[in-house]
Structure formats: C-alpha cells, structure tokens
Amino acid sequence: MNNKSKQELLGYQSYSIQENLTYFKPTKISTTTTFAEEIRHTLLQPKKSISPKFFYDKDGSKIFDEICSLPEYYPYNAETEILQAIEKKLIPYLSNEFHLVELGSGSSVKTRLLIDILLKSQNHLQYFPIDISEILDQSAKNLCMDYPNLSVTGVVDTFENGLDFIEHYDDKPNLITFLGSSFGNFSKNEGMLFLQKINNLMKSDDLFLIGLDLKKDQQVLHNAYNDSQKTTAKFNLNVLKRINDELDANFNIENFEHHAVYDEEKGRIEMYLRSLSEQSITISKSELSITLSKDELIHTENSHKFSISQIESSLKESNFEKLEMWFDSQKYFVLVLAKKI
Ligand SMILES: C[S@@+](CC[C@H](N)C(=O)[O-])C[C@H]1O[C@@H](n2cnc3c(N)ncnc32)[C@H](O)[C@@H]1O
C-alpha cells in the first residue's frame, strides 16, 4: 500500500512518535462534527440512544480498564486465561512473517500475550492497533518501550475505517484479532455485515481470532454489569460528561442512573441511562434541545451473549472456516480461530 496517498485520501494526519511508532488520526474537526451529528440523530429518535463507541474518550477508556479488574467482570479474566493457554496450539498456524491487526485494542494489555506468541515464531512484528479512543497513543508507546522488536502503526478511528486503512497494506499475512467480545455490541445484522467486511478484505493466508462471550447463568451476567463498586455505572454515566465537555451540553449527571438488564429472549445485556426526573437538555454543538420524562431510558449498549451454534452459523454464513474454538475453564468465554473459505 502507498501509505501516504491512502492516508491523504482518507483525511488522516500522521503522528510519527519514534522510529518504530506511527499513528494516524482523522482531523479533530471531522471527528467532532460526526460526534455532534450522530448524537443529534440518535437523541431525536422516539427511543433515544447513544452509540457505545462514544463511551471511549480518555476517561471512558480508563474506567473500562477499571472494569476489567473488577471481580464480577469475568470476560477479561476468562479471555486472559484462554490466551495464556493457547501458545502451543496457535503457533502451528503461524509462519515467520505475520502482522498483528487488532480491532478495539484499548490499552493492549491482553495483546501482549499474543505478541509474545508471535515473537516466538518470528524476529520482528508489525502491529496495527485500531481504536476509536485516544488511549491508543499511550498504549502503543508502552508496547514499544517493552518490545524492541515491535513496530506499531496505529489508526485512531472506527473499526470500519481502520480496516479500510490497513487493507492492501502489503502481501504479508495478517492475524486479525477482535477481543473482549466487542462483537457482541453489534445487532445481528450489523454483526453479519461486519464479519463479511472482514472476510472480504482477508487474504487466503490471513487468520481471524475473535473473542466472544457465551450464554451463562443470568446472575453471573447481572453481576458483571451491576458491580458492587458501581464502576460500570461510572462508565455508563461518563458518556454524558463527555457530551457536556465536547459538545457544549448541560446534562446534570446527578439526574441519571445506570440501568443494566439481561433480556433472555434477545440473549443480551441491555444498558441504559435512566432519567430520574422530567428534564430539558441542550446540546449546543448538535443544535439540539430535548426533553426527557421521569424514568425515560436512553439506550447506551447491547452486549450479546452467544451459543456455540449461533457462533458456528454466523461464521459459516459470512464465509469463514472455523479452525479452533478455545474455552476458559468455566466455559464462560470462547476464542475462535478462523480463516476465509
Ligand atoms: C470492550 S473494549 C475492549 C478493549 C480490549 N480489546 C479488551 O479486550 O480488553 C472495546 C474497545 O474498542 C474500542 N471501540 C469501541 N467501539 C469502537 C468502534 N466503533 N471503532 C473503533 N474502536 C472502538 C474502544 O475504544 C475500546 O478500546
């Protein structure tokens, strides 16, 4: 890929931090405009919502890391347990020249386990983290400090734009990873389109590694999203603070509470912000004034939980061949390795 022309075409600015670390970001003006427009659109619907991708400003990303260390938040530990156990099983699928591409890399902590595995079968690794959060620059710097044999090319943007960015980078095979069950935030339809998008851009020798949260006891699910320290509540409410800060809005955070429930029929945790009183809100940069009634809910996230048969049929439908399924000891979580058919 001719990096420079593609980067210009897509409206990115590049930041070369050190020899082995460059990241690309869309201009600030374009991201603020998109944020303001999307918020206007989703808060004008009869059922108000805020996209979960807006959780992740710097504070939101930090609070997400706090969630990962909560005893109730099993997905993090379950996926880590799997990653710690798969070295010998994953290495036979690798050659000596894989790139690592990560969707929603966040603080890239679990990624280290994969980097360690890849660096067992090759001397140098090129890592492409893609994340909408500015946390990417610090995570990338930390990695470069700890791994002299790593080069990082980051993209601070949405999954979709990041995938367009890295498509046709070069002929080397990619291990494309999507950890943390972020896939569960998509609706069924969005999820299928996303899998197809990944499948379409994969080369025949690329691999796809996806972490998915499994259906389980409802109490375990409830506790994971309603933790006793109220960290998930802080995470959910932080999106209102972000809208206040970046879009000149006047949400009074005290007038909202976190609400997370499991819908068994839909197989998902649904997360909302509940308005505690009738109230009017103005969001200046979205040119929007809305009224919320007492107990009205703003939807902020769905987190789907999957059965093995659902996973197998979604992979098949989107043209993937399942190579491996690895589970944690409680069978709470699965890592699936797949390739393009
Ligand atoms: C649930 S966290 C997972 C973080 C990490 N991969 C893990 O497993 O712990 C989701 C990550 O994806 C990023 N993210 C969320 N929505 C995104 C989007 N639409 N495009 C790009 N990144 C997104 C967030 O900033 C966050 O770092």
Helix axes 231-247, 28-43, angle to 10 degrees: 110
Q: State the virtual CA torsion across 254, 72, 261, 265 in degrees, nearest 10.
A: 160
Helix axes 159-166, 188-201, angle to 10 degrees: 10
Distance of CA 137 to the CA centre of its chain: 16
Mean pLDDT of 268-292: 98
Q: Calculate what percentage of the chain has a pLDDT beyond 90.
A: 90
Contacts of 127 (CB under 8 A, 6+ apart): 99, 100, 101, 102, 111, 115, 143, 150, 151, 152, 153
Tens-digit pLDDT profile for residues 49-88 = 999 999 999 999 999 999 999 999 999 999 999 999 999 9
Q: Which atom of ligand 1 is nearest to the CA of 76?
A: 9
Give the model's pLDDT for residue 251: 98
Contact call for residues 255 and 276 (beta carbons, < 8 A): yes
Query: Which of 19-33, 203-217, 225-239, 323-337 has the weakest average pLDDT?
Result: 19-33
Q: Ligand 1 pocket, 53 CB below 6 A?
A: yes
Domains and CATH numbers, the chain: 3-28+63-217+306-340 (3.40.50.150), 47-58+218-304 (no CATH)
Give the model's pLDDT for residue 6: 63
Name the residue at shortest CA distance from atom 24 of ligand 1.
Answer: 104
277 Cα to the center of ligand 1, angstroms:
32
Tens-digit pLDDT profile for residues 221-260 = 999 999 999 999 999 999 999 999 999 999 999 999 999 9
Contacts of 84 (CB under 8 A, 6+ apart): 113
Q: What is the residue type of 337?
A: L
pLDDT-derived band at 299, boundaries 50, 70, 90: very high
Structure-token match 């976190």, residue found:
258
Give the model's pLDDT for residue 2: 52
Tens-digit pLDDT profile for residues 204-227 = 999 999 999 999 999 999 999 999
Contacts of 41 (CB under 8 A, 6+ apart): none
Give the model's pLDDT for residue 5: 57
Give the model's pLDDT for residue 29: 76
Is residue 4 over pLDDT 70?
A: no
Is residue 124 over pLDDT 90?
A: yes
Name the residue at shortest CA distance from atom 6 of ligand 1.
Answer: 105
Is residue 337 over pLDDT 80?
A: yes
Give the model's pLDDT for residue 9: 61
Q: Ligand 1 pocket, 286 CB below 6 A?
A: no
Record the tokens describing residue 158, joined without a space.
């949405």
246 Cα to the center of ligand 1, angstroms:
20
Could you tell me which residues are beta bridge partners of residue 25? 13
Give the model's pLDDT for residue 96: 80
Contact call for residues 61 and 133 (beta carbons, < 8 A): yes
Helix axes 218-225, 74-85, angle to 10 degrees: 110
pLDDT-derived band at 30, boundaries 50, 70, 90: confident
Could you tell me which residues are beta bridge partners of residue 159? none
Closest CA to 44 of 298, 260, 255: 298
pLDDT-derived band at 146, boundaries 50, 70, 90: very high
- How would you classify the pairing of strands 333-340 and 288-292? unpaired
Give the model's pLDDT for residue 316: 98
Is residue 1 over pLDDT 60?
A: no
184 Cα to the center of ligand 1, angstroms:
11
Contact call for residues 195 and 159 (beta carbons, < 8 A): no
Record the tokens describing residue 119, joined without a space.
């660096």
Considering the chain, what is the average pLDDT of its residues? Answer: 95
